[in-house]
Amino acid sequence: MKAMRIRLPIASLMAMVVVSGTAIASQVETEGKITIPQTAAVFAVCTEPVMQQTLEEDFRGAHRDSGTGLPVTVTVTVTEKLLKPGVVLRDLGPGDPWVIAKLLRAAGVKPPPIGDTGDKHLDPYSEAARRQIMDPDNPTLALQNYESFKNEARRPEGPRFGPNGNASDEQIYDRAVVARASVGGSPDQMIALIVVHPSEDLRSAKELLAEEIANSILH
């Protein structure tokens, strides 16, 4: 039996969703907006199948799959990446990396560097000491340190990396999913981002991301 989805408001989306008995709490952060005439039929073309289905259902549920005006196709490209050492901002898709960095911070995650490709695991206590020395007046210092300690606490005990590791990257690192929505012939663009923690359901998070894009277009 298919789980029921609740249509959520346009505001930055903080929701608890239950799918197949798995609960997740995820926040969607957005930048930009797409404006479409109310009389236009709206169709979606998305590179991610879960989001494609959700967008189609939302537009159809709002009776926007038909209209008297010229039809409009919303193209959504999706990039997803584990936020592990070695990942840089440009790995999260084309466009302005500073926008992605801003959205990651809004989601409570420290953005990866622009060009550092190192893969060394950082000890959170050493990182906290380094931050205190380099930027002692930073008002977000306590939050950054808390996030580092929390991520470290999630790591399973025992070997973590290499051929004898006891955990996959998916069990250790957060995943960023970035969606870019645009309409042909229009300068309008919307970027939506969600960070999925290892214990959370990825499909549900993608549905939330698509819901946010659809709600922004429909309202």
DSSP notation for 90-150: GGG-SS-HHHHHHHHHHTT-PPPPSS----PPPPHHHHHHHHHHH-TT-TTHHHHHHHHHH
What pLDDT, on the 0 to 100 scale, is given for residue 214?
Answer: 93
Supply the mean pLDDT for the chain.
77
Q: First and final CA of the chain: distance in angstroms?
A: 30
User: In the predicted model, what is the mean pLDDT of residues 116-140?
Assistant: 57
Q: Does the pLDDT of residue 146 top 70, yes or no?
A: no
What pLDDT, on the 0 to 100 scale, is given for residue 64?
Answer: 81
d(CA 167, CA 158): 9
Read off the pLDDT band of 153 (50, 70, 90). low
pLDDT, tens digit (0-9, with 9 covering 90-100), for 30-86? 999 998 888 888 999 999 999 999 999 999 888 887 777 788 999 999 999 999 988
The partner residues of 79 in beta bridges, in order of sequence, read: 178
d(CA 180, CA 46): 10
pTM score above 0.85: no
What pLDDT, on the 0 to 100 scale, is given for residue 46?
Answer: 96
User: Residues 6 or more apart from 219 whose CB is under 8 A from it?
Assistant: 10
Domain spans of the chain?
A: 13-109+175-218
DSSP state of 46: E
